[in-house]
Amino acid sequence: MYDTDTRKVLSALCHGAIFFNFLFISIGMPIIILLTTQDPVVKKNAKEAINFHFNVWLYGIIIGALVIASVGLLGFVGFLWFLVHWGLTIWALFHVLNNSETAFRYPFIFRIV
């Protein structure tokens, strides 16, 4: 049996790493946790966090290109994506801290890892 407190902390670190502004820290933390932990729930949370990072970057590039191409007229789309991005991250944090037995799955993302 795995320690639930350790599971909560590691899962929260995986999902919360996106709050770090440094690129390598935000993606590196879930990768390191994925490679070092033996807990299957934490591994699933780490994979999901890595996939979410890739999706945030992909959608950010697409939305950024649309905003530039429309000379700023689609700026509200960027603001909506900002709200969705942070909202989903906060939702994931609440889930892993309150329900440590199951991994969180982000809706509407492509799963690469």
pLDDT tens digits, 15-56: 999 988 767 788 999 999 999 999 999 999 999 999 999 999
Instruction: Kindly report, residue by residue over 81-90, the tens digit of the pLDDT.
Output: 999 999 999 9
SS3 string, the chain, reads: CCCHHHHHHHHHHHHHHHHCCCHHHHHHHHHHHHHHCCCHHHHHHHHHHHHHHHHHHHHHHHHHHHHHHCCCCCHHHHHHHHHHHHHHHHHHHHHHHHCCCCCCCCCCCCCCC
Structural tokens at position 101: 């037995």
